[in-house]
C-alpha cells in the first residue's frame, strides 16, 4: 500500500468524507452518516458501509444476508477493481462442493485478475480464518478486494496522486476532489451491479 498525501493538510478534517457523501447522494444512493469517518449506504438485505479517512484511504464493506451469490460477488469485485460497469460473463467452470471464496476466486482469475489467499491464524485459540484477496495484475495493490466464505467482502483503496484511475474517471484533480471522484466512481459502479442483480431477480 502507498503512503498517500494526507487530505487533511489541504482541507479541514472530514472534508474528503463530505465530498464522497455528496457524490454518492448525487448518484441516487441513500447515504447516512455513521460514527467517525464511516457512513452507511442503505441496501435491502445487506449491511453496506463506507469509511473514508482524511488521508485518502477508503474501505467499502458489503455483508449480504445468506445465501450469498458468488457470481454477484465476482461482479462486484470486478467492477471495483477495473472500473468496468458490466455485465460480466461467467468464465470459470463450476465445481461441486467448492467453497464460496473458491468459486469467486476462480471466476476472478478467469477474468484476468490476480487472486491470492490470505490466512489469519489465532495461535491462542488454535483456529484459522482464510479469505481471498484480488488485485489488478501489474498494479501496485493500492486497490484490493477481500472475499470471505460468508459472502462478506471488503474493497480497500488508497489514493495515489497521479496514479492511473479506476476506469474512466475524468477528474484530473490530484487533491481531495480527485480522491473523492475515484471513491465515488468505484462505489457507484458496485452499487450499479447490485441494482442490476436485483432487477434480474424481479423479472
Q: Give the three-class secondary structure for 185.
A: helix
- Closest Cα partner for 64 from 122, 134, 182, 148? 148
Burial class (CB in 10 A: 0-12, 13-18, 19+), 201: exposed
pLDDT score for 176: 81
Residues constituting the chain = 203
Residue found under cell 474493497: 155
Question: d(Cα 50, Cα 58) in Å, to the nearest integer?
Answer: 7
Residues 169, 183: contact at Cβ < 8 Å?
no
Q: What is the pTM of this model?
A: 0.88
Q: Give the three-class secondary structure for 33.
A: strand
Report the relative pairing of strands 153-158 and 127-135 from DSSP bridges: unpaired
Sequential DSSP letters for 96-157: TT--HHHHHHHHHHHTT-EEEEEEEEETTTTEEEEEEEEE-TTS-SSEEEEE-TTS-EEEEE
Question: d(Cα 159, Cα 142) in Å, to the nearest integer?
Answer: 7
Question: What is the residue-level pLDDT of the chain in tens, covering all 203 positions?
Answer: 544 445 444 557 889 999 999 999 999 999 999 999 999 999 999 999 999 998 889 999 999 999 999 999 999 999 999 988 888 999 999 898 899 999 999 999 999 999 999 999 999 999 999 999 999 998 767 899 999 999 999 999 997 655 555 554 444 556 788 889 999 999 999 999 999 999 888 86
Amino acid at each position: 500500500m502507498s503512503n498517500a498525501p494526507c487530505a487533511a493538510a489541504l482541507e479541514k478534517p472530514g472534508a474528503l468524507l463530505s465530498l464522497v457523501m455528496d457524490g454518492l447522494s448525487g448518484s441516487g444512493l441513500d447515504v447516512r452518516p455513521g460514527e467517525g469517518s464511516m457512513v452507511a449506504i442503505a441496501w435491502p438485505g445487506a449491511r453496506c458501509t463506507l469509511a473514508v479517512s482524511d488521508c485518502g484511504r477508503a474501505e467499502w464493506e458489503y455483508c449480504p444476508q445468506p445465501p450469498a451469490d458468488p457470481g454477484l460477488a465476482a461482479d462486484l469485485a470486478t467492477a471495483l477493481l477495473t472500473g468496468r460497469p458490466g455485465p460480466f460473463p461467467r468464465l470459470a467452470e463450476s465445481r461441486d462442493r467448492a467453497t464460496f471464496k473458491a468459486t469467486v476466486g476462480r471466476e476472478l482469475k478467469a477474468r484476468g485478475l490476480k487472486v491470492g489467499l490470505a490466512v489469519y491464524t489465532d495461535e491462542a485459540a488454535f483456529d484459522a480464518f482464510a479469505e481471498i484477496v484480488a488485485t489488478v495484475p501489474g498494479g501496485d495493490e493500492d486497490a484490493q478486494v477481500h472475499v470471505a466464505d460468508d459472502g462478506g467482502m471488503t474493497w480497500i483503496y488508497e489514493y495515489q496522486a497521479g496514479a492511473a484511475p479506476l476506469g474512466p474517471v475524468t477528474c484530473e484533480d490530484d487533491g481531495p476532489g480527485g480522491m473523492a471522484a475515484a471513491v465515488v466512481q468505484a462505489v457507484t459502479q458496485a452499487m450499479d451491479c447490485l441494482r442490476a442483480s436485483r432487477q434480474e431477480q424481479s423479472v
